[in-house]
Structures are given as C-alpha cells and as structure tokens.
Amino acid sequence: MKLRRLFMLLAFFSLAYARPAAAQLDPFEFEVYPVKTVGRGMLEVESLNSVVINGSRHGEKGTSKGTLPSQSMWRTAIEVTYGLTDRIEAAAYLNLAKPRGGDLQYAGSKFRLRGSLFDPGELPVDLGWYVELAYARTPKFDDQKLELELRPILQRDVGDFSFIFSPKFEKILVGSEEKEGWEFGYVSGIYYRWLRAFTPGIEFYGAIGMMKHPDPTREQQHYIFPVVRGEWRGLEYSVGPGFGLTHGSDRVIMKFNLGLEKYIGALFGPSTNPLY
C-alpha cells in the first residue's frame, strides 16, 4: 500500500513539474514560403520529404515531437494548394511518417490559409501572412492534438537576390500543453535567382521554445540548409541537406520537395482589394 502511495505521489509530482517538450519545429515542412501565393485558379500538388540521417535515438529529442526517436525517420507531407484569389491560397496536408524499422503511417493533418498584402513591389518590403491549424491523434509522432500557427511573411528582392523572413508563433489549443503560452520560431531563406531551373539558396529553420521562458540555447533547435530549387519541365523541386547547429537539433537531415501545378479555373474574379 505504501509503495502504491509513493508511486502515486511520484506520478503527481512528475506531472505537476513536467516541463513542456523542448523547442519544436515542424519536421514535415522544410519549406520557405514567399509572399507570392499560388496564382488564382491554380492547383498545386506537392510532396514535402525529409529523412533524418543523423538524429536522436530518444523520443521528443531533435525533430521528434512524439515518443518515437527521430533517427532514420522518413517524413512525407502531401500538400494540395488552391489559389482562391490573386492574394489568398488554401492548402491541406496529409502527414505520413516511416520510423526506422516501421511502415509508412499516418502522422497528422494540417490546414492553412496564406495570403499576400498588396501587390509585389508596392511596399518597400512585401508582406504576407500565414495561418495554420495542425491536427494530430498520433502521440508517436506528435503528442499535442491541435495546434495553431501564425506567421507574418516579409520579403525583399534586391537585384537577383530574394530575402524572406517569417517569424512563427505557435499555440497548443488541445493537448497536455494547452495551458502553456505561445512558442516562437522562425523560417527564413536567401536565394539567388540564377536560372529558372537552378536557384541556389540558404534556408534557416529554428525553434526557441516558449516565448515567456525560452529553452536554453543548447536545447533550442536551429538548422541551416544549403539548397537548390527550381523548375524543370513543369516540375518544381527544392533539395538540400540540413545541419543542426545546437545540441538540441538533429545533426543531419536531407530534404527533397517536389511539386506540380496546373490551372484548373478560378472561382473568383481578379482581386481589386489590396488585402485579399
């Protein structure tokens, strides 16, 4: 009986004082979105893929948001995007993951809207926005059930270079951390528009943890991806290795995203308002 009480006390204190999981980024989406949205009436189908080449052997470490370790984890997000107006697109994602030694399995869903404000070149810095709801019922891959993500997107083109910066604000709506505040992270990229089929760039992804009490720098996740992207015969691609810069990051990740887009017809006429 005493042993049972002791166990219950230990369980209570471990729950009461449990810290939220370390800073997390979205490992299903290593993609930097520009301000420009998919064209009005366009349908785009993308496959966002990554594999952790050198990661963690424990759950909730590195890019793992669940109980399974990140090492050798293969992740694929199938993303379908439609251009609602000249400035707003809607997208749905199906997340799939294949852990080491396991099968490819469902790992969650996401829905998002993304938009641009004003036309490109209207402002000194082009502005956009991003709102996403992520839904998961798979604690192996993500131990939170519903998450909201908000991002402003800032872009500036200077000559042949494009600079994109997008701070991320995330809030768990349903899950064990729903009482916690907002998490902060970032997605960023610099690209040199050399050839349409070959645009080199550098991308940055990071998560610092809760805004009120960021994780120690060592436990945060920060990645740098030298990438090449472009379009060849209608097929868009973005490929590159990612290197973790902190102890809390996976060491090496490889990403390769592919996409096809086709005009299927517009639901609405041309945008006359700079906001939508």
Partner 1 sequence: MKYLILALNLMLVFAGGVAAGTPTDDVVELRFENRKFIPQTLNVPANRPFKIKVVNASKEAIEFESFKVNREKVIGPGETATINIPALKPGSYDFYDDFHRDVPEGTIVAK
Which residues here bind partner 1, judged by CB under 8 A? Answer: 36, 39-42, 83, 86, 117, 119-125, 127, 150, 152, 154, 157, 159-160, 162, 167, 169, 181-182, 184, 193, 196, 211, 263, 265-266, 269-270
Residue 105 CB, shortest distance to partner 1, in Å, is 34
Q: What are phi and psi of 195, to 5 degrees?
A: -130, 155
Torsion of CA 210, 213, 216, 222, to 10 degrees: 30
CB atoms within 10 A of CB 152: 15
- Residue 273's Cβ-count burial label (10 Å; 0-12, 13-18, 19+) is exposed
Looking at the Cβ atoms of 117 and 228, the one nearer to partner 1 is 117
CB atoms within 10 A of CB 240: 21
Looking at the Cβ atoms of 141 and 205, the one nearer to partner 1 is 205
Looking at the Cβ atoms of 11 and 275, the one nearer to partner 1 is 275
| DSSP letter, residue 58 | S
- Coil vs helix vs strand at 13: helix
Looking at the Cβ atoms of 111 and 263, the one nearer to partner 1 is 263
Looking at the Cβ atoms of 36 and 98, the one nearer to partner 1 is 36
State whether the Cα torsion 28-30-32-37 is positive or negative.
negative
| DSSP letter, residue 214 | B
Q: Within the chain, where are the H helices?
A: 2-16
Amino acid letter, 22:
A
Torsion of CA 237, 105, 72, 247, to 10 degrees: 90
Looking at the Cβ atoms of 79 and 86, the one nearer to partner 1 is 86
